[in-house]
Each structure stands twice: as structure tokens, then as C-alpha cells.
């Protein structure tokens, strides 16, 4: 009898007795389970997971033996699993595959392929003993200078949401979790833990939250990571309207909410708001939760609710199920997946007749230090410790080209000199804790270029950029080309063109750059972004025509940086040092650093450019192919709650290829200013042989057509005439049709996210 009673008091956690376990827990135990186990630091200051189960993981949750609760492991994301590649005393290595960055993944516009890649990512999560991947990153690319744009998908919420949902499904199909991040409105890095993003409710819901809504509803991520920033005066992590009313009540989310790292302030308020797990966790947070309940500032029901979410998460994990992971994911197979993803998604921006695919080219001169110092992915927590990165020299040689050795030897020596000077080779495998900074471009003597132009058949110029968390990019020497890059490109173009030879530019970058001033001078431009460890091989697959490019831009390339209306309210002139000096001293709040007014409202990216008719360098959705496609007249059919539109795409050219159909909708305004075009659905064909056709069916619900009306606190789809435009990009509409909605739709919501001070949104005149 007695034994039974004590067994009752100490139940071992199962998926069916969560309430019983909660009842048996002391206040301290409840607080403890909600706080991660923190970090230990290596001598060089880089952190690793406390339990040393998976060194290099970003965080761990606390085990509680009394209830049979194991610790679980959380690791970054999103371009692969970020764990240490080496462990003390072990010969084995623990590399993870360096997959393409988020922006490239989104450029595929191919959700099946994204899901397939993410399955491979998830297998590495599972086989390395990790329970949750801290990704995908899915903030909106509001402005080209955000230092983390490469981790994010797009300037468009629908594309963001659909790609994120596919990614989550793929990873989670392995029985491990994801963490969609950073929830929400974390679209700038400068002062990222203190910036107050001031945004109207409509803009938040339509632009910055929509992608999360789609991912939550369609893919049920195990966890959501609440962001560091402030929204309308209150930390995102402390906003009950965001984390509970919207996320759980309106969207029906059932998983776990965890904080982004090290935001220790306001633990009690965060827990109250609906933040379950504090990461990476500190004893002070446990103490605060305990004190909060004792002094009445935190209700026991709220604490219990969070504990329940936590335990529901734990019982799903491989750690809880006692999965015996191998530490041997199939890196060989995954490298091939990474290569195919990169080839599927790279975007051909320019191709003068007869340039690509390469024909009759044997000898190649590679310009740009990035051709050897190839950028597989960005820096910061999104860095992945991969076993190798293929560079352009290796990739070209793999495909049988002869690469000019004078040039590659020269660049190799320049890289070695730079690394020695900066003492960059501190960690083996070329893996730095948080990734390696980009090596600046170097000059090539003019006589050398003259000689190389004679000796080679073609010039390939690789232009590189890298960025990462905590810093936004700058206009000079980053958005804009550096003087060295400009001079080198000019000289190469002059000497090769003088001999009738072509110059191909490869943009190995993580975010949008200026293109207008130089794009006219070169023969072809390929944009593979930061395409992962196998990306250079994928680039060569496209250059040779082994793969026909089918990637499409997930954002706009503007003519001028300032053309983006968000640029007026972005810290592009931010001086970190000046700001540091001000800290702790009394001062007027610094615009775009301490607060940022999202005055452009919903007019982000093509929503703005297209509506006002502003010229761009490359439009949203753009990407060339080696073949041509024709779109049929669309057939639109009403469904119970919306419509289905079918379009037949025919390959009218001479080589096999894939095309993306992008459905843009022009909705009746009914009292709300609306963009001329909004992406509402998209689909990609399979590879079509010349002459072959495929019919694609795009499904849109009336709810997807709704705009948010703050006056009525409702999503509204007015009755009337909807223009449906089927494009190959937002600027290349191939067919149109109409959808007639007889009965208006209205979905009541809650009034949330009140502004902390009045803010006037910009207004624009339409073209
Ligand atoms: C980043 C997150 C990341 C976390 C753990 C934070 O600094 O913002 O994206 O998941 O660190 O490494």
C-alpha cells in the first residue's frame, strides 16, 4: 500500500500522465523544467551544450530523474545542424552537411524539393542526438541590408509561409522538432535585443505574421522561438497577444514556445505571456519564476500551462523515447541532396545570346578571391561545421575544365596571407565557431589580365559577400561594389571583350546588392546565393547546361537602395560605436536603433514597386531559363470556399526545363488600400522535355484573399471581381482570368498590437 502511494507521488512521465506529473511536481521543479540548462564556455569563449552530450549544440533542457524526464538537446539551424565537428579525445568527426541558405532554398519555389532537403537535414538532427533544430528562420526580408536575410526566405509572406511549412514537414518527418523563428518582426539586426519595431496591426498581420500563420497551420512545428525585439513598446517575448491570443487562440497552435537566447529580462512576464521555455537558461530565471508564483505576480495556472506544454514536447522527443542515435548520418547522400537543391534554385539573371550554357570552352580564368574562398553559408548561429566546401576551381575541374593556375595560385597565396595576418586558422577544418568573415577582394595586375585573356576561353568572375547575426550590412562596400571589385571587373571585361571572349559573373552573396551600374557590361549573371558545401558544383552544373536553371527571385533587386520605402526607416547609417557610448547615458531615443517605425506599412518589396510603377533592376519572381515556356488560357473553377485555377505550361524551346507559375491577385479595394498584385499561389512544373506540357492547378481559399481591416478587427474578402494574373515573374504576366466572388467573406479576429505612440504610415500614388 505504502509503496503504491509513493509510486503515485512520483509518477514516471508517459505521454498519458502529464497532468499527474504536474500535480506531483513542487513549485521549484516546475520552474526548473521551464528553464534550459545554460551554457558552459570553452577557453576561447565559444559556447557548447552543457551536458556535453552533443557538444556545440545551442542549448539543452534539464533532466529530472525523479519523473524519468530526460534532458533534450536544441541545435541551430537552419542551413544544417550546428554542432562541434570535433570532440576532445575522439578521432571521429561530427560534421554536418552544409545545405544551401534559406534564401536559396526559397528561390527554388519548389516545396517538394524543399521538403526533401529538409528530410535530410532532419536525419542529421536525429542521428546526432539532437531533438529540435532551431530553424527555419522566416522573418520577412523587409530591407536588403538586414544581416540575417540569407537565413530568411523572402520579402513575400506567402512564399515564406509555404517554403517554411515544407521545411518543417521535412525535418519533422524524422520524429524531431523544428523551431520557426524569430517570432516576430525581427527584420533588423542592429540593436536586435533593444529595438522597438513599431508596426500597425494590419501590417503585422498581413506581412510580418502571415508566413508564421501559414507554417503553424499547415505544418505544426513543435516549437516557436519568440524574438528578442520589442513590438509597439513591449518585448515580443512578453506579449500575451502575440504568444497566446494570436498564436494559440486564433491560429490553434499546440506546441512549445521558447525564447531566443539570453534574453533574461522579464522572465515572469514572459512566462505569463505564453513563453514556455527560457533559453539557454540560468538559475536566476528559475528563482524569478518561483518568486513570481510566491508573490502572486505569476498565477500557478499559467506556470502549469507552460509545464504542460513542456512535458507534451518532451514526450515526443527522441531523447524521451530513448532513441539510440548513430552519430553517423548519411553525409554522402546528403551532399548530393544539397547539390541538387542548389542547382534547382540558382537564378539566371542575365544571359546574352550564346553565353550559357558554355559551348566550346575548355580553359577558364577565375577572377575574384571568392572563387577559392567560396561562401557556402552565412556567419553567426546559422553557420554549419561542414567537412568541406567545394570551391569554383575544384568544381570546374570536376567537370573537366582547365582552370588558369596562375590566377588560382595567386588567390591561394592571398588567402593564406590574409588568414595568417588575422590569425583566422584557429579551428581545424576551416570551421570557425560562428563562421569565417569574408576575405576582401584583391587587385590583379593589369598585365596579368591581358595575358590571361589571351590564354583562356572565358572569364568567370565570382563576387562574394557574407553576413550574419548582430550586424546589418552597409551600403558602401557591401550593398555597393567596392572600388577594387569595380576596377577588377572593368579590367576583365575590357580585356576579354577586346578579344571577343565572354565574362560570366557568379554572385556568391547572402543578400541583395547593387547591380544596375555594372550588369550591362557583362555577358551572363548567375545568382547561386550562398549555396552550401556543394554549391560550386551546382553552379558548374548550370554553366555547362547539365542543369537548366529554374530558380526565381524571392525578392526584388532595386535600382537604388533608397528606392525601398523601408530604407527611410532602416539603420543604414548606424554607427555602433556612437551608440555604445550613449548607452547608460540619458539621451533622446535613437531612431532606427532604439525604435524603428515601419512607416511603409504593407508596401514591402514588389507590393510597393509594382503598385507605384517604380523601375527595378530585377523584379520579384524573375529568373531566366535556357528554354522558353508558353502558358495556356487559365481555367478557373469555384470550389466550396474559393477557387481552383488550372494553367497548362508548354516547353516551347529546345532543351528540357522547369517553369514556375506565379498567381498574383488584384482584389477589389472595398475601403482598404491594396497592392496591385499579391502572390496568392504558385506551382512549379516537373522537368518538361521540349514540346511537353503539364497542367498545374493552383488552389486559393477566400480566406487567403482577405485583407485585414483594423476598423472591424476582421479579415475581409469583399464580394466582387478579382483579377487573376499568371506570371513567370511579377513583371511578366502571361495570362489572366477573373474570379467573381458573390458573397463577401469575414473572419472576426481580436484587436491586438496597439501602437505605443501615434505613427503615420506613408501613402503612395499608384502608377
Ligand atoms: C539567434 C537564434 C539562435 C540562438 C541559438 C540567437 O542568438 O538569434 O537564431 O537559434 O542564438 O544559437
Q: Which of 60, 134, 277 to mutate to test the pocket of ligand 1 (most atoms within 8 A of CB)?
A: 134
Overall average pLDDT of the 507-525 stretch: 98
Percent of the chain with pLDDT over 70: 96
Q: Residue 167: which of 227, 104, 255, 210 has the closest Cα?
A: 104
- Our answer on whether the CB atom of 189 is closer than 6 Å to any ligand 1 atom is no
Q: Which atom of ligand 1 is nearest to the CA of 381?
A: 12
Q: DSSP assignment, residue 359?
A: -
Overall average pLDDT of the 293-312 stretch: 98
Distances (CA, A) of 493 to 448, 525, 635: 14, 13, 48
Report the separation in Å between the CA atom of 259 and the middle of ligand 1, taken as the mean of its atom positions.
9
Is residue 56 within 8 Å of 90, Cβ to Cβ? no
Q: What is the pLDDT of residue 401?
A: 98
User: Does position 338 have pLDDT exceeding 50, yes or no?
Assistant: yes
- Our answer on whether the CB atom of 739 is closer than 6 Å to any ligand 1 atom is no
User: Does position 49 have pLDDT exceeding 60, yes or no?
Assistant: no
Q: What is the pLDDT of residue 427?
A: 47
Range from 269-278, 290-299, 574-583 carrying the lowest mean pLDDT:
574-583
Q: What is the pLDDT of residue 431?
A: 44
| Confidence bin at 355 (pLDDT 50/70/90) | very high
Q: What is the pLDDT of residue 433?
A: 65
- Our answer on whether the CB atom of 261 is closer than 6 Å to any ligand 1 atom is yes
Q: List, in order, residues 6 or more apart from 421 with CB less than 8 Å away.
A: none
Q: What is the pLDDT of residue 713?
A: 98
Report the separation in Å between the CA atom of 53 and the middle of ligand 1, taken as the mean of its atom positions.
19
User: Does position 756 have pLDDT exceeding 60, yes or no?
Assistant: yes
Is residue 158 within 8 Å of 210, Cβ to Cβ? yes
Q: Which of 258, 381, 385, 433 to mutate to test the pocket of ligand 1 (most atoms within 8 A of CB)?
A: 381
Q: Which of 84, 131, 260, 276 is catalytic?
A: 260
Q: How far apart are CA 657 and CA 343, in angstroms?
A: 12
Q: In this structure, which residue's CA is closest to atom 3 in ligand 1?
A: 381
Q: How far apart are CA 346 and CA 706, in angstroms?
A: 32
Report the separation in Å between the CA atom of 71 and the middle of ligand 1, taken as the mean of its atom positions.
19
- Our answer on whether the CB atom of 151 is closer than 6 Å to any ligand 1 atom is no
Residue carrying C-alpha cell 482598404: 672
Q: In this structure, which residue's CA is closest to atom 6 in ligand 1?
A: 261
Q: What is the pLDDT of residue 551?
A: 98
Overall average pLDDT of the 431-460 stretch: 91
Percent of the chain with pLDDT over 90: 89
User: Does position 64 have pLDDT exceeding 70, yes or no?
Assistant: yes
- Our answer on whether the CB atom of 79 is closer than 6 Å to any ligand 1 atom is no
Active site residue 76: no
Q: What is the pLDDT of residue 44?
A: 55
| Confidence bin at 321 (pLDDT 50/70/90) | very high
Q: What is the pLDDT of residue 52?
A: 63
Condensed to tens digits (0 to 9), the pLDDT of residues 532-542 reads 999 999 999 99
Q: How far apart are CA 122 and CA 131, in angstroms?
A: 10
Condensed to tens digits (0 to 9), the pLDDT of residues 572-612 reads 988 777 888 888 889 999 999 999 999 999 999 999 999 99
Condensed to tens digits (0 to 9), the pLDDT of residues 89-130 reads 899 999 999 999 999 999 999 999 999 999 999 999 999 999
User: Does position 88 have pLDDT exceeding 90, yes or no?
Assistant: no
From the CB of residue 442, how many other CB atoms can be counted at a distance below 10 Å? 16
- Our answer on whether the CB atom of 181 is closer than 6 Å to any ligand 1 atom is yes
Distances (CA, A) of 614 to 421, 660, 726, 763: 46, 24, 21, 15
Report the separation in Å between the CA atom of 551 and the middle of ligand 1, taken as the mean of its atom positions.
28
Q: How far apart are CA 469 and CA 699, in angstroms?
A: 37
**Which strand (E) or helix (H) includes residue 89?**
none
Condensed to tens digits (0 to 9), the pLDDT of residues 477-490 reads 999 999 999 999 99
Q: Which atom of ligand 1 is nearest to the CA of 280?
A: 5
Q: Which atom of ligand 1 is nearest to the CA of 182?
A: 9
- Our answer on whether the CB atom of 469 is closer than 6 Å to any ligand 1 atom is yes
- Our answer on whether the CB atom of 485 is closer than 6 Å to any ligand 1 atom is no
Q: What is the pLDDT of residue 584?
A: 83
Q: Which atom of ligand 1 is nearest to the CA of 137?
A: 9
Q: In this structure, which residue's CA is closest to atom 7 in ligand 1?
A: 261
Report the separation in Å between the CA atom of 279 and the middle of ligand 1, taken as the mean of its atom positions.
10
Condensed to tens digits (0 to 9), the pLDDT of residues 144-174 reads 999 999 999 999 999 999 999 999 999 999 9
Q: Which atom of ligand 1 is nearest to the CA of 469?
A: 8
User: Does position 3 have pLDDT exceeding 60, yes or no?
Assistant: no
Average pLDDT of every residue of the chain: 94
What distance, in Å, lies between the first and last C-alpha atoms of the chain?
82
- Our answer on whether the CB atom of 134 is closer than 6 Å to any ligand 1 atom is yes
Sign of dihedral through CA atoms 546, 550, 552, 557? positive
Helix, strand or coil, per DSSP, at residue 699: strand
**Under the phi-then-psi rule, with left for phi > 0, alpha for psi from -120 to 50, and beta for the rest, what region is 642?**
left
Q: What is the pLDDT of residue 435?
A: 82
- Our answer on whether the CB atom of 76 is closer than 6 Å to any ligand 1 atom is yes
Overall average pLDDT of the 315-332 stretch: 98
Q: In this structure, which residue's CA is closest to atom 8 in ligand 1?
A: 260
- Our answer on whether the CB atom of 124 is closer than 6 Å to any ligand 1 atom is no
Q: DSSP assignment, residue 651?
A: E
Q: Residue 302: which of 12, 29, 31 has the closest Cα?
A: 31
Q: In this structure, which residue's CA is closest to atom 9 in ligand 1?
A: 381
Q: How far apart are CA 228 and CA 236, in angstroms?
A: 7
Angle in degrees, CA 197, 758, 703, rounded to 5: 65
- Our answer on whether the CB atom of 18 is closer than 6 Å to any ligand 1 atom is no
Q: Residue 275: which of 221, 317, 201, 223 has the closest Cα?
A: 223
Condensed to tens digits (0 to 9), the pLDDT of residues 169-191 reads 999 999 999 999 999 999 999 99
User: Does position 301 have pLDDT exceeding 60, yes or no?
Assistant: yes
User: Does position 234 have pLDDT exceeding 60, yes or no?
Assistant: yes
- Our answer on whether the CB atom of 58 is closer than 6 Å to any ligand 1 atom is yes
Q: What is the pLDDT of residue 9?
A: 64
- Our answer on whether the CB atom of 381 is closer than 6 Å to any ligand 1 atom is yes
Report the separation in Å between the CA atom of 555 and the middle of ligand 1, taken as the mean of its atom positions.
24
Condensed to tens digits (0 to 9), the pLDDT of residues 707-727 reads 999 999 999 999 999 999 999
Q: How far apart are CA 511 and CA 572, in angstroms?
A: 15
Q: Which atom of ligand 1 is nearest to the CA of 228?
A: 8
Report the separation in Å between the CA atom of 90 and the middle of ligand 1, taken as the mean of its atom positions.
27
Q: Which atom of ligand 1 is nearest to the CA of 82?
A: 12
Q: Which atom of ligand 1 is nearest to the CA of 181?
A: 9
- Between 5 and 88, the higher pLDDT residue: 88
User: Does position 436 have pLDDT exceeding 90, yes or no?
Assistant: no
Q: List, in order, residues 6 or more apart from 549 with CB less than 8 Å away.
A: 346, 347, 348, 526, 542, 623, 624, 625, 626
Overall average pLDDT of the 668-681 stretch: 96
Amino acid at each position: 500500500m505504502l509503496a503504491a502511494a509513493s509510486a503515485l507521488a512520483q509518477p514516471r512521465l508517459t505521454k498519458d500522465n502529464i497532468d499527474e506529473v504536474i500535480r506531483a511536481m513542487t513549485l521549484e521543479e516546475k520552474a526548473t523544467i521551464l528553464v534550459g540548462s545554460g551554457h558552459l564556455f570553452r577557453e576561447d569563449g565559444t559556447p557548447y551544450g552543457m551536458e556535453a552530450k552533443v557538444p556545440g549544440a545551442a542549448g539543452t533542457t534539464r533532466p529530472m530523474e525523479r519523473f524519468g524526464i530526460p534532458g533534450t538537446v536544441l541545435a541551430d539551424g537552419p542551413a544544417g545542424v550546428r554542432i562541434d565537428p570535433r570532440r576532445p579525445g575522439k578521432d571521429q568527426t561530427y560534421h554536418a552537411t552544409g545545405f544551401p541558405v534559406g534564401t536559396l532554398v526559397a528561390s527554388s519555389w519548389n516545396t517538394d524539393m524543399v521538403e526533401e532537403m529538409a528530410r535530410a537535414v532532419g536525419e542529421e538532427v536525429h542521428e546526432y542526438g539532437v531533438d529540435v533544430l532551431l530553424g527555419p528562420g522566416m522573418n520577412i526580408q523587409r530591407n536588403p541590408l538586414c544581416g540575417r536575410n540569407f537565413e530568411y526566405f523572402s520579402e513575400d509572406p506567402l512564399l515564406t509561409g509555404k517554403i517554411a511549412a515544407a521545411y518543417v514537414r521535412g525535418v519533422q518527418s524524422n520524429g524531431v522538432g523544428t523551431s520557426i523563428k524569430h517570432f516576430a518582426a525581427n527584420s533588423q539586426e542592429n540593436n536586435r535585443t533593444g529595438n522597438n519595431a513599431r508596426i500597425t496591426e494590419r501590417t503585422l498581420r498581413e506581412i510580418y505574421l502571415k508566413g508564421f500563420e501559414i507554417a503553424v497551420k499547415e505544418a505544426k512545428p513543435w516549437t516557436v522561438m519568440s524574438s528578442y525585439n520589442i513590438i509597439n513598446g513591449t518585448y515580443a517575448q512578453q506579449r500575451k497577444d502575440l504568444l497566446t491570443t494570436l498564436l494559440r487562440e486564433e491560429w490553434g497552435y499546440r506546441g512549445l514556445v521558447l525564447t531566443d537566447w539570453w534574453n533574461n529580462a522579464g522572465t515572469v512576464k514572459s512566462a505569463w505571456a505564453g513563453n514556455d521555455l527560457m533559453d539557454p537558461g540560468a538559475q536566476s530565471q528559475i528563482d524569478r519564476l518561483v518568486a513570481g508564483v510566491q508573490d502572486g505576480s505569476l498565477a500557478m495556472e499559467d506556470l502549469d500551462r507552460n509545464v504542460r506544454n513542456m512535458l507534451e514536447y518532451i514526450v515526443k522527443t527522441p531523447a524521451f523515447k530513448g532513441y539510440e542515435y548513430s552519430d553517423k548520418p548519411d553525409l554522402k547522400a546528403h551532399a548530393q541532396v544539397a547539390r541538387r537543391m542548389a542547382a534547382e534554385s540558382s537564378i539566371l539573371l542575365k544571359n546574352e545570346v550564346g553565353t550559357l550554357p558554355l559551348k566550346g570552352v575548355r580553359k577558364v580564368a577565375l577572377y575574384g578571391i571568392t572563387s577559392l574562398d567560396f561562401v557556402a553559408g552565412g556567419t553567426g548561429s546559422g553557420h554549419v561545421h561542414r567537412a568541406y566546401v567545394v570551391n569554383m576551381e575544384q568544381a570546374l575541374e570536376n567537370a573537366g575544365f582547365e582552370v588558369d593556375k596562375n590566377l588560382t595560385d595567386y588567390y591561394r597565396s592571398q588567402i593564406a596571407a590574409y588568414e595568417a595576418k588575422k590569425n583566422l586558422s584557429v579551428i581545424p577544418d576551416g570551421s570557425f565557431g560562428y563562421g569565417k568573415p569574408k576575405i576582401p577582394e584583391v587587385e590583379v595586375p593589369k598585365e596579368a589580365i591581358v595575358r590571361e585573356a589571351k590564354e583562356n576561353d572565358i572569364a568567370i568572375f565570382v563576387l562574394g559577400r557574407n553576413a550574419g547575426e548582430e550586424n546589418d550590412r552597409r551600403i558602401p562596400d557591401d550593398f555597393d561594389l567596392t572600388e577594387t571589385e569595380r576596377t577588377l571587373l572593368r579590367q576583365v571585361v575590357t580585356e576579354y571583350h577586346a578579344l571577343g571572349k565572354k565574362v560570366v559573373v557568379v554572385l556568391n552573396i547572402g543578400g541583395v546588392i547593387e547591380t544596375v551600374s555594372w550588369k550591362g557590361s557583362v555577358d551572363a549573371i548567375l545568382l547561386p546565393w550562398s549555396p552550401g558545401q556543394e554549391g560550386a558544383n551546382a553552379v558548374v552544373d548550370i554553366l555547362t547546361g547539365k542543369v537548366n536553371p529554374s530558380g526565381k527571385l524571392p525578392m526584388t533587386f532595386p535600382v537604388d537602395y533608397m528606392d525601398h520605402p523601408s530604407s527611410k526607416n532602416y539603420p543604414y547609417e548606424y554607427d555602433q560605436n556612437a551608440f555604445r557610448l550613449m548607452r547608460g547615458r540619458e539621451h533622446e531615443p535613437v531612431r532606427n536603433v532604439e525604435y524603428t517605425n515601419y512607416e511603409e506599412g504593407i508596401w514591402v518589396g514588389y507590393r510597393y514597386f509594382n503598385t507605384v510603377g517604380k523601375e527595378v533592376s530585377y523584379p520579384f519572381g524573375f529568373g531566366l531559363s535556357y528554354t522558353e515556356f508558353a502558358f495556356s488560357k487559365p481555367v478557373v473553377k469555384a470550389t466550396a470556399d474559393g477557387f481552383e485555377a488550372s494553367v497548362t505550361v508548354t516547353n516551347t524551346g529546345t532543351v528540357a526545363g522547369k517553369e514556375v507559375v506565379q498567381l498574383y491577385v488584384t482584389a477589389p479595394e472595398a475601403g482598404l488600400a491594396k497592392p496591385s498584385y499579391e502572390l496568392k499561389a504558385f506551382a512549379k512544373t516537373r522537368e518538361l522535355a521540349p514540346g511537353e506540357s503539364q497542367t498545374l492547378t493552383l488552389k486559393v481559399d477566400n480566406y487567403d484573399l482577405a485583407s485585414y481591416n483594423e476598423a472591424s478587427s476582421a479579415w475581409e474578402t469583399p464580394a466582387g471581381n478579382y483579377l487573376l494574373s499568371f506570371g513567370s515573374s511579377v513583371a511578366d504576366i502571361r495570362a489572366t482570368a477573373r474570379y467573381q466572388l458573390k458573397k463577401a467573406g469575414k473572419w472576426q479576429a481580436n484587436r491586438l498590437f496597439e501602437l505605443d505612440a501615434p505613427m503615420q504610415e506613408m501613402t503612395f500614388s499608384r502608377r
